[in-house]
Chains A and B, each alone.
Chain A
Amino acid sequence: MNFLPYVVAAWLFVVGLYGIITSRHLIHLIVCLAVVQSSTYVLLLSIGYRTGAGAPIFANVPPGTPAVDPVVQALALTDIVVGATVTALLLALAVQVHKRRGTLDPNRLRSMRG
């Protein structure tokens, strides 16, 4: 239990990469990239967790109550925004590719070779 979240993060990273490498559809590939990204969310948020502590919001509790680390939460927020934007750009590219070629199979769509 002590290291399980970290193992989950490692697993997500590796399995997402597997998905990217064996993908037959660009949209699926982009979602696999999102899976790889989610491994970083899991890692960051697990690092900041403190057993028995509450959320770092002191609206109803006095400051000084045990709370989890707010820094990683801020980092994860930035990470999510970054992920959303990169996903959007990649999806736009996929849309355009589909309009030109009618296929989204990365095996048949290659950039320059050699």
Chain B
Amino acid sequence: MSINALPPLPVVLPLSVAALLIATAPRLPRRVIDLLAIATALAVAILCALLLVRSLDGPIVYWFGGWLPRDGIALGISFVIDPFGAGLALLASVLVVASLIFTWHYFDEVGVLFPVLTLTFLGAMAGFSLTGDLFNLFVFFELMSVAAFALTGYKIEEEEALMGAFNFGVTNSIGAFLVLTGIGLLYGRTGALNLAQMGRTLASAPADGLVIGALVLISTGFAVKAALVPFHFWLADAHAVAPTPVCVLFSGVMVELGLYAVLRVYWTVFAGVLAAHEDRLRPLLLAAGSLTVLVGGVMCFAQAHLKRLLAFSTISHMGVFLMGTACLTADGLAGTGLYVLAHGLVKGGLFLAAGILLNRFESVDENVLRGRGKLLPAVGVLFTLGALGLSGLPPFGTWTGKALIEDAAADLGFHGVSVILFLSSALTGGAVLRVCGAVFLGWGHKENEEGKTPKYQEKETKKKYTRTPLVMIVPVGVLFLLALLAGLWPTLKSETVRAAARFENPQGYADGVLEGSAETLLAVGPKQPPPSGFLSSVTATAGAVVLALTALFVRRLPQSLRRNAWRVGHPALAVLRTLHSGYVGDYVVWIIVGVAMLGGLCAWRFG
């Protein structure tokens, strides 16, 4: 088997092992099952790393079934592997390894079912990142979703868990149907399902209602998965009730894949035909991203339930990612890519650390945990490190990503973007720092928060450990270390910018896929982050620290200041909280309103 046979393996290997585990489960001891699952995930990580390195100079195009395209018509399904796709698959496999190691002591009562579902989830994410065919993308999207629904509803004894999984299922299914309707429209026009072929066919005619309609439908459908406002309501519910190792995968990579799909489809199918409208598209997307950042950030800071808090911080960061890619330049996309990588690692580590707390104290409520973390100093240090990484402190990878995005936006003249990024880092980093102060140092007062956390007993493992087991704490440290490495790796940034330039080149993509010709690689010079990048990141972290301390010691502030702040902030916050009602009908209404609004805006600007 030559290296040319590699591309299907990151998908087929975990899926085959999952089937094997089900077939042999009664006969295998638990430890063997776990080790096999971890080994498979590691193998996938190695394969994806190989593919990543191979794809740095040009895309790897693989045609399934041996069906090569004829006269520019694709007959079969293709995998088109570029650094972004391979990188996301690599991130997914690394997070799966970490979460499988973490669950060494978990899920005793379901035995083989959890590793099997996680392996199919991994295979689906790998396929999703690597494919070059729109319907294949949809199939892997659904496989990802099905595994995710099942994993979310794990705690079948809790009504909240069941309804959280139900809301997740209904909203994401509607997103999938929106995508499928868009696929139908595009197929009706182009008669093809291959992304490259579609892009080429669309580019030969001007954009009309069908093209814009398909763009809106597909983008909003994937935006549900990507938890952009107003499609985001399901995420916090699902995260609050899903088992912690599962949340690692959701926040770390699954949600980001939603945005990846939007970008991939846009840059291969729509970028050619909508090239003239780029200037009008940018402000639209930047505004949408800002909305997501602000809603996510504010809701994040208002939470006392740790997992829900981290979920809202993911939403806020998704807004930042959208803004980075909304610049529609190579720098913006590269910055987003780096930020996604580092954020996934840091967020994964934070969720695992929250899992340690949950296991030890059977709660993730900030108020309940206040001061009890003093027994776990190591976890406290790691948690604080994670919070700082989340706020973009140099030299974490989040800093390089953020700096690139700010550069890209400033180059285009959108200077307000820096303010929004500052707010995102301050609010989300500040919230996690506040939790650190409360849990591990005992600061703050119990009546500070008005969080309506559930009363139900959370228990994820059968045993309660008096000493944090190594398998729980080592993955956290390793993930944070990797996030640091991502920021320090010398060639990562320049390679990412190069890959981003190729990502945003629809004609080169089509030529490479359908004719197999080597694209002209655009030479992009390496850029050092200017000092402002460093300064603004440190400022953001400082802002996070200030916010955290303010929240913890709010009693020490003068009475009049507190009363005025309450009068201004409380009604807005109350409205925002009521909107997050937990009722699936509300969520679906917002999805439809979001689609209608985006459709209306696009029709007005491009129609």
- A–B contact via C-beta, under 8 angstroms: yes
Q: Which residues of A contact B (CB under 8 A)?
A: 9, 13, 17, 20-23, 26, 29, 33, 36-37, 39-40, 43-44, 47, 71-72, 75, 78-79, 82, 85-86, 89-90, 92-94, 96-97, 100-101, 106-107, 109-114
Supposing A33-B173, A89-B169, A112-B237 touch, asked if A97 and B162 sit within 8 A by C-beta, the answer is yes
Chain A min CB distance to B182 (Å):
10
Encoded as 1 (CB less than 8 Å from any A CB) or 0, chain B from 150 to 190 comes to: 10010011111011111101100110110011001001100
CA–CA, A102 to B188, complex, Å?
46
Supposing A33-B173, A71-B193, A78-B139 touch, asked if A23 and B160 sit within 8 A by C-beta, the answer is no
Supposing A97-B162, A107-B583 touch, asked if A86 and B452 sit within 8 A by C-beta, the answer is no
Q: Does B135 contact A (CB under 8 A)?
A: yes
Chain B min CB distance to A32 (Å):
9
Q: Does B584 contact A (CB under 8 A)?
A: yes
Measured between beta carbons, the chain A residues less than 8 angstroms from B305 are 112
Chain A min CB distance to B330 (Å):
34
Leading 7 A-B pairs by shortest Cβ distance: A110-B582, A111-B163, A111-B164, A111-B237, A47-B188, A21-B585, A111-B582
CA–CA, A26 to B452, complex, Å?
25
Encoded as 1 (CB less than 8 Å from any A CB) or 0, chain B from 140 to 152 comes to: 0010011001100
How many residues in B have their beta carbons less than 8 Å from beta carbons of A? 52
Q: Quick check: A112 and B582 within 8 Å, CB to CB?
A: yes
Measured between beta carbons, the chain A residues less than 8 angstroms from B176 are 82
CA–CA, A37 to B452, complex, Å?
35
Measured between beta carbons, the chain A residues less than 8 angstroms from B188 are 47
Q: Does B589 contact A (CB under 8 A)?
A: yes
Q: Which residues of B contact A (CB under 8 A)?
A: 135, 139, 142, 145-146, 149-150, 153, 156-160, 162-167, 169-170, 173-174, 176-177, 180-181, 184, 187-188, 193, 236-237, 240-241, 302-303, 305, 308, 451-452, 454, 577, 580-585, 588-589, 592
Measured between beta carbons, the chain A residues less than 8 angstroms from B156 are 96
Supposing A47-B188, A89-B146, A97-B162 touch, asked if A110 and B588 sit within 8 A by C-beta, the answer is no
Chain B min CB distance to A111 (Å):
4
Measured between beta carbons, the chain B residues less than 8 angstroms from A33 are 170, 173-174
Q: Quick check: A110 and B581 within 8 Å, CB to CB?
A: yes
Q: Quick check: B177 and A40 within 8 Å, CB to CB?
A: yes
Query: Which residue of chain A has its CB nearest to the CB of B176?
Result: A82
CA–CA, A104 to B114, complex, Å?
28
Measured between beta carbons, the chain B residues less than 8 angstroms from A71 are 187, 193
Q: Quick check: B584 and A82 within 8 Å, CB to CB?
A: no
Q: Quick check: B580 and A23 within 8 Å, CB to CB?
A: no
Partner of B241, one of A21, A100, A111: A111
Measured between beta carbons, the chain B residues less than 8 angstroms from A72 are 187
Partner of A109, one of B145, B157, B163, B237: B163
Interface hub of A100, A101, A110 (most chain B Cβ within 10 A): A110
- Helix, strand, loop or mixed for chain A's interface? helix
Q: Quick check: A21 and B588 within 8 Å, CB to CB?
A: yes
Selected A-B contacts with CB under 8 Å, 8 pairs: A43-B181, A44-B184, A44-B187, A86-B149, A97-B159, A109-B163, A112-B454, A113-B582
Q: Quick check: B452 and A40 within 8 Å, CB to CB?
A: no
Q: Quick check: B577 and A114 within 8 Å, CB to CB?
A: yes
CA–CA, A37 to B582, complex, Å?
23
Q: Quick check: A106 and B585 within 8 Å, CB to CB?
A: yes
Supposing A96-B156, A114-B580 touch, asked if A40 and B588 sit within 8 A by C-beta, the answer is no
Q: Quick check: A112 and B160 within 8 Å, CB to CB?
A: yes
Chain A min CB distance to B198 (Å):
13
Interface hub of A20, A22, A29, A72 (most chain B Cβ within 10 A): A20
Chain B min CB distance to A46 (Å):
9
Interface hub of A29, A37, A47, A111 (most chain B Cβ within 10 A): A111
Partner of B166, one of A75, A82, A90: A90
Q: Quick check: A39 and B577 within 8 Å, CB to CB?
A: no
Measured between beta carbons, the chain A residues less than 8 angstroms from B174 are 17, 20, 33, 36
Query: Which residue of chain B has its CB nearest to the CB of A110?
Result: B582
Supposing A20-B170, A79-B180 touch, asked if A114 and B452 sit within 8 A by C-beta, the answer is yes
Supposing A97-B163, A109-B163, A112-B454 touch, asked if A13 and B170 sit within 8 A by C-beta, the answer is no
Query: 19 extra interchain contacts, Cβ-Cβ under 8 A, other than A111-B582, A112-B237?
Result: A17-B174, A29-B584, A36-B173, A37-B173, A44-B180, A47-B188, A71-B193, A78-B139, A79-B180, A82-B142, A86-B149, A90-B149, A97-B159, A106-B584, A107-B583, A110-B163, A110-B582, A111-B237, A114-B577
Q: Quick check: A29 and B170 within 8 Å, CB to CB?
A: yes
Q: Quick check: B240 and A112 within 8 Å, CB to CB?
A: yes
Measured between beta carbons, the chain B residues less than 8 angstroms from A44 are 180, 184, 187
Measured between beta carbons, the chain A residues less than 8 angstroms from B589 are 21
Measured between beta carbons, the chain A residues less than 8 angstroms from B159 are 97, 100-101, 109
Measured between beta carbons, the chain A residues less than 8 angstroms from B158 are 100
Query: Which residue of chain A has its CB nearest to the CB of B157?
Result: A100
CA–CA, A20 to B237, complex, Å?
18
Q: Quick check: B581 and A47 within 8 Å, CB to CB?
A: no
Q: Quick check: B162 and A40 within 8 Å, CB to CB?
A: no
CA–CA, A90 to B160, complex, Å?
14
Q: Quick check: A26 and B177 within 8 Å, CB to CB?
A: no
CA–CA, A111 to B188, complex, Å?
40
Chain A min CB distance to B392 (Å):
27
Supposing A40-B177, A86-B146, A111-B582 touch, asked if A94 and B166 sit within 8 A by C-beta, the answer is yes
Q: Quick check: B187 and A47 within 8 Å, CB to CB?
A: yes
Q: Quick check: B169 and A90 within 8 Å, CB to CB?
A: yes
Measured between beta carbons, the chain A residues less than 8 angstroms from B302 are 114
CA–CA, A89 to B583, complex, Å?
19
Q: Quick check: A96 and B583 within 8 Å, CB to CB?
A: no
Q: Quick check: B162 and A96 within 8 Å, CB to CB?
A: yes
Q: Quick check: A93 and B592 within 8 Å, CB to CB?
A: no
Measured between beta carbons, the chain A residues less than 8 angstroms from B169 are 86, 89-90, 93
Q: Quick check: A43 and B184 within 8 Å, CB to CB?
A: yes
Measured between beta carbons, the chain A residues less than 8 angstroms from B452 are 113-114
Measured between beta carbons, the chain B residues less than 8 angstroms from A37 are 173, 177
Partner of B236, one of A21, A96, A112: A112
Query: Which residue of chain B has its CB nearest to the CB of A69?
Result: B191
Partner of A111, one of B145, B167, B177: B167
Chain A min CB distance to B185 (Å):
8
